């Protein structure tokens, strides 16, 4: 005579709780919306128990057919109920309750087969999907055909095209990596899509600021490009000021990112850069606040009344990536054929594409050569060079109104930056 199997009893209890979890939600839905509809909490518990018992017997008798037969019986029962209910109901009903019943039976069996953790997670997810019916339907109603196509294009670019590209340099100067360049395309396109979603659901002001903060953590250059393109789509009165504030917020994040990178490699260099970067950050924050308040004041209509179009464009992102590749190639050519032009020229060239890489390189250089002041000035030049290029991007891609605002901010940042880094 075998002893009491605690683990088996625990698994049966988990299966019954899964049935109760889904059944409670379906019972409430039934009472509130369809009093005569299929199944309630007790029925769902029994379905979970049937799945668990049939799975246990299948394991005990070493045959899968008992569980398959039980699942088939549950399917026949729920589909027959669905047919009879729709036959007597003038309004066609969905299959949500019936499919959730089959799911509960499967999850009950999964617990006994040794997948209790996954089964519980899926049961919680199933209950959430059933409970959040109205929000999900509201979300779908807001998704247009263009939004759907944009999402599909981004998924294709990310999970089909990207893995096929070689993750190594393909040119003699080791400058062009197809994988990383296409990753940049995905990044720019993704940020545009994220910004659009944020504006749609949070409003133009909150959406723009949150996107700027999160996007700036990834790439202030990509964020600048994304907002510049949005300036030709968002046509409300406060758009240019709001987007200028967003761009400057992403630049603020860039200053903090550079400081963290340098700190990880060279604390003396961080101490040398702290006050100049803090000065630039304060000035950038002032401009961002001025533009933000101006945009908030000028926006005469609410974000809900302003037509917002999806700015997603793979081709625009590809064009930027090609430009980025050209600059990368020019930097590598300058390093290869004119290595004696000085650290400042190299920093200015490298800053045309990216600040993080040159900051990391110069921090390492400062640690090895003990030329902290020289490295700090070079990083300052790279930051100003990068900011200048991003302002030029706004002129090329964005509206003139936005470009003028960014030029004013860039001019002030350039003057103060040159002064601060010379003093340092």
What's the confidence (pLDDT) of residue 264? 77
How many whole angstroms separate alpha carbon 134 and alpha carbon 125?
16
pLDDT of residue 41: 86
* 406 assigned to some structural domain: yes
Instruction: Confirm whether 187 is domain-assigned.
Output: yes
pLDDT at 237: 63
How far are the Cα atoms of 10, 215, 225, 313, 335 from residue 319, in angstroms, in the given order?
59, 20, 11, 10, 25
48 close to 104: Cβ distance less than 8 angstroms: yes
Same domain, 149 and 119: no
Same domain for 288 and 407, yes or no, is: yes
Separation of alpha carbons 16 and 104, rounded Å: 9
- Are residues 82 and 93 in contact, defined by beta-carbon separation less than 8 angstroms? yes
Q: What is the pTM of this model?
A: 0.56
Task: Say if residue 312 is in the same domain as residue 418.
Answer: yes
pLDDT in tens, the chain (424 residues): 456 788 889 999 999 999 999 988 888 877 766 655 666 788 899 999 999 999 999 999 888 899 999 999 998 988 888 787 777 765 556 678 888 889 999 999 999 999 999 999 999 999 888 888 777 777 677 677 777 777 888 888 888 888 999 999 888 877 788 998 888 778 767 766 776 676 666 665 666 777 777 777 667 887 888 888 888 887 666 788 888 998 999 899 889 888 887 887 788 888 889 999 999 999 999 999 999 888 766 554 333 333 445 555 677 667 767 766 776 676 566 556 655 445 677 778 778 777 876 776 667 666 665 578 877 888 888 899 999 989 998 998 888 999 999 999 999 999 998 888 864 4
1 inside domain: no
What is the total count of domains within the chain?
2
Q: For position 307, what pLDDT does the model report?
A: 45
Q: Does 50 share its domain with 89?
A: yes
Cα distances (angstroms) measured from residue 344 to each of 4, 30, 65, 280, 341: 78, 72, 75, 19, 8
Q: Torsion angle of alpha carbons 126, 131, 136, 138, nearest 10°?
A: 170
Distance spanning both ends of the chain, measured CA to CA = 85
Q: Is there a single domain that holds both residue 89 and residue 113?
A: yes
Same domain flag for 285 and 187 = yes
Q: Is residue 379 part of a domain?
A: yes
Same domain, 277 and 360: yes
Question: Exposed (0-12), middle (13-18) or buried (19+): which is 163, by Cβ within 10 Å?
Answer: exposed
Of 139, 164, 187, at which residue does a domain stop?
139
212 is a domain residue: yes
Q: Which of 319, 288, 307 is nearest to 188 (CA)?
A: 319
Query: 163 and 81 share a domain?
Result: no
pLDDT of residue 234: 74
Domain boundary among the residues 139, 173, 206 is at 139
Strand, coil or helix: 39: coil
Q: What is the pLDDT of residues 290-340, one digit of tens each?
A: 998 887 665 543 333 334 455 556 776 677 677 667 766 765 665 566 554
- 18 lies in the same domain as 114: yes
Domain contains 219: yes
Q: Are residues 125 and 164 in the same domain?
A: no
Judge if 210 and 315 occupy the same domain: yes
Is 87 contained in some domain?
A: yes
- Residues 199 and 132 placed together within one structural domain of the fold: no
The whole domain housing 418 covers 143-423
DSSP H helical segments within 176-238, as ranges?
178-202, 204-218, 220-230
Q: Using the 3D structure, point to which of 105, 139, 173 is the last residue of a domain.
A: 139
DSSP secondary structure code for residue 312 in this structure: -
pLDDT value of position 328: 63
User: Does some domain include residue 308?
Assistant: yes
Please say whether the beta carbons of 74 and 105 come within 8 A.
Answer: yes
């Amino acid at each position: 005579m075998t002893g009491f199997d605690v683990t088996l009893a625990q698994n049966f209890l988990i299966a019954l709780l899964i049935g109760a979890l889904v059944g409670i939600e379906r019972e409430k839905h039934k009472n509130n919306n369809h009093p005569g509809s299929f199944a309630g909490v007790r029925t769902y518990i029994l379905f979970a128990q049937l799945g668990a018992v049939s799975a246990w017997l299948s394991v005990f008798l070493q045959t899968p057919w008992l569980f398959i037969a039980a699942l088939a019986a549950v399917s026949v029962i729920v589909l027959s109920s669905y047919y009879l209910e729709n036959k007597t109901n003038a309004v066609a009903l969905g299959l949500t309750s019936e499919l959730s019943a089959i799911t509960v039976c499967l999850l009950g069996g999964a617990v006994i087969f040794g997948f209790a953790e996954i089964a519980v997670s899926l049961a919680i997810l199933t209950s959430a999907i059933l409970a959040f019916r109205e929000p999900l339907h509201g979300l779908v109603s807001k998704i247009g055909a263009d939004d759907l196509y944009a999402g599909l294009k981004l998924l294709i670019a990310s999970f089909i095209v990207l893995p096929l590209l070689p993750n190594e340099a393909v040119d003699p100067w080791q400058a062009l990596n197809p994988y990383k360049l296409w990753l940049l395309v995905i990044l720019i396109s993704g940020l545009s899509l994220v910004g659009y979603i944020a504006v749609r659901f949070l409003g133009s002001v909150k959406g723009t600021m949150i996107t700027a903060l999160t996007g700036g953590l990834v790439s202030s250059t990509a964020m600048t490009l994304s907002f510049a393109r949005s300036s030709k789509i968002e046509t409300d009165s406060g758009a240019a000021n709001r987007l200028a504030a967003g761009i400057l917020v992403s630049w603020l994040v860039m200053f903090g990112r550079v400081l963290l990178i340098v700190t990880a490699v060279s604390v003396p260099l961080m101490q040398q850069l702290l006050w100049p970067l803090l000065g630039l950050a304060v000035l950038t924050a002032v401009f961002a606040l001025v533009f933000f308040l101006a945009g908030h004041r000028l926006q005469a209509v609410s974000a809900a009344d302003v037509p917002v179009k999806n700015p997603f464009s793979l081709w625009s992102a590809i064009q930027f990536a090609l430009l980025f590749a050209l600059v990368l190639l020019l930097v590598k050519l300058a390093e290869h054929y004119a290595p004696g032009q000085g650290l400042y020229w190299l920093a200015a060239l490298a800053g045309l594409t990216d600040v993080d890489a040159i900051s990391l390189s110069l921090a390492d250089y400062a640690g090895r050569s003990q030329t902290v002041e020289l490295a700090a000035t070079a990083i300052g030049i790279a930051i100003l060079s990068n900011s200048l290029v991003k302002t030029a991007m706004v002129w090329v891609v964005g509206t003139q109104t936005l470009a003028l605002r960014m030029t004013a901010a860039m001019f002030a940042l350039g003057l103060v930056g040159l002064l601060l880094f010379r003093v340092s």
